[in-house]
């Protein structure tokens, strides 16, 4: 069975992705900073190795790479863990630069650092990298300049990586709005109950992983699985 590493798997999209792949029988390596939440999220799933830690910590990333080594290879890396930054999100003219550095550290530097550590096993498997992006990478929403520019950097990093590593499948995946903690943080005090659950995005993510279209940027809506009509 294939092996995937999914960062940020204790809730939201990462948890939904981990649950879907584990149910398929995949071997998984997962992380999140809070060990208890991660253990709760993975309870009842088989073939899951939980490695709690912070993706911005080089020692934790080395632990993840060691877990990949013990698993004997890696087919799919999902760089999902992400940081929104301050909430409410400040305008760029007021954006605290130390916070901006942390947003870039989590959303840009850590994904690339993991890719660098895992290029060898991914290449050996002709594997897939899914960097989870956002519409804020391509739309200029006021207040979204920190997070959005970090996701734009992640998109470009993905595109250049695809040009440099033709044996890999490299995707920036824009899931669209989802009812998660991060989304609530982006819209503090707002009722977000009309946003779709992260599980609704999983068929599109699985289609990307299964069908492996040409490397590029994909929105979940581009990959929506048509409803089966009787
Ligand atoms: N929700 C949306 O509407 C939306 C829209 C577009 C794109 N996205 C993207 O979709 C992805 C998933 O977002 P989500 O809404 O599911 O987020 P979420 O509910 O806030 O979950 C984030 C997950 O990442 C973990 N995490 C955060 N920082 C981490 C770090 N430094 N190291 C390790 N794990 C970390 C969190 O656990 P701990 O806190 O315990 O570490 C949690 O498991 C992100 O890349 C996000 O940018 C979301």
pLDDT per residue of the chain (230 residues) written in tens, 0 to 9: 999 999 999 999 999 999 999 999 999 999 999 999 999 999 999 999 999 999 999 999 999 999 999 999 999 999 999 999 999 999 999 999 999 999 999 999 999 999 999 999 999 999 999 999 999 999 999 999 999 999 999 999 999 999 999 999 999 999 999 999 999 999 999 999 999 999 999 999 999 999 999 999 999 999 987 666 66
Mutate to test the pocket of ligand 1, among 7, 129, 153, 180 (most ligand atoms within 8 A of CB): 180
Candidates 95, 104, 141, 147; catalytic one: 147
Residue 159 DSSP class: H
Residue 194 DSSP class: T
Structure confidence at residue 225 (pLDDT): 72
Question: In terms of pTM, does the model score above 0.95?
Answer: yes
Protein residue with its CA nearest to atom 19 in ligand 1? 12
Vertex 74, ends 203 and 129: CA angle to 5°? 50
Q: Report how far ligand 1's centroid is from the alpha carbon of 229 (Å).
A: 34
Mean pLDDT over the full length of the chain: 97
Ligand 1, pocket residues at CB < 6 Å: 7-14, 31-34, 37, 54-56, 80-83, 106, 132, 134, 175, 177-178, 180-183, 198
Q: Which atom of ligand 1 is nearest to the CA of 106?
A: 31
Structure confidence at residue 224 (pLDDT): 83
The tokens describing 106, both together, are 């989590």
Q: How far apart are CA 59 and CA 116, in angstroms?
A: 14
Give the CA radius of gyration of the chain: 17
Torsion (CA) 102, 147, 113, 49 in degrees, nearest 10: 90
141 in catalytic set: no
């Amino acid at each position: 069975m294939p092996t995937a590493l999914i960062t940020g798997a204790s809730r939201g999209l990462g948890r939904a992705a981990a649950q879907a792949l584990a149910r398929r029988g995949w071997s998984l390596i997962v992380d999140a900073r809070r060990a208890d939440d991660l253990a709760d999220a993975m309870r009842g799933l088989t073939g899951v190795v939980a490695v709690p830690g912070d993706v911005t910590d080089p020692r934790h990333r080395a632990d993840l790479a060691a877990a990949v080594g013990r698993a004997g290879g890696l087919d799919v890396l999902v760089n999902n863990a992400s940081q929104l930054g301050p909430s409410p999100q400040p305008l760029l003219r007021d954006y605290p630069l130390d916070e901006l550095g942390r947003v870039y550290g989590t959303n840009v530097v850590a994904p690339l650092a993991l890719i660098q550590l895992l290029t060898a096993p991914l290449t050996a498997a002709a594997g897939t990298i899914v960097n989870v992006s956002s519409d804020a990478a391509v739309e200029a929403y006021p207040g979204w300049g920190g997070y959005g520019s970090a996701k734009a950097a992640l998109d470009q990093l993905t595109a250049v990586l695809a040009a440099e590593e033709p044996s890999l499948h490299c995707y920036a995946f824009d899931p669209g709005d989802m009812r998660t903690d991060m989304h609530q943080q982006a819209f503090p005090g707002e009722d977000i109950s009309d946003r779709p659950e992260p599980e609704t995005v999983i068929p599109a993510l699985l289609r990307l992983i299964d069908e492996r279209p040409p490397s590029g940027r994909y929105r979940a809506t581009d990959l929506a699985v048509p409803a089966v009509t009787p």
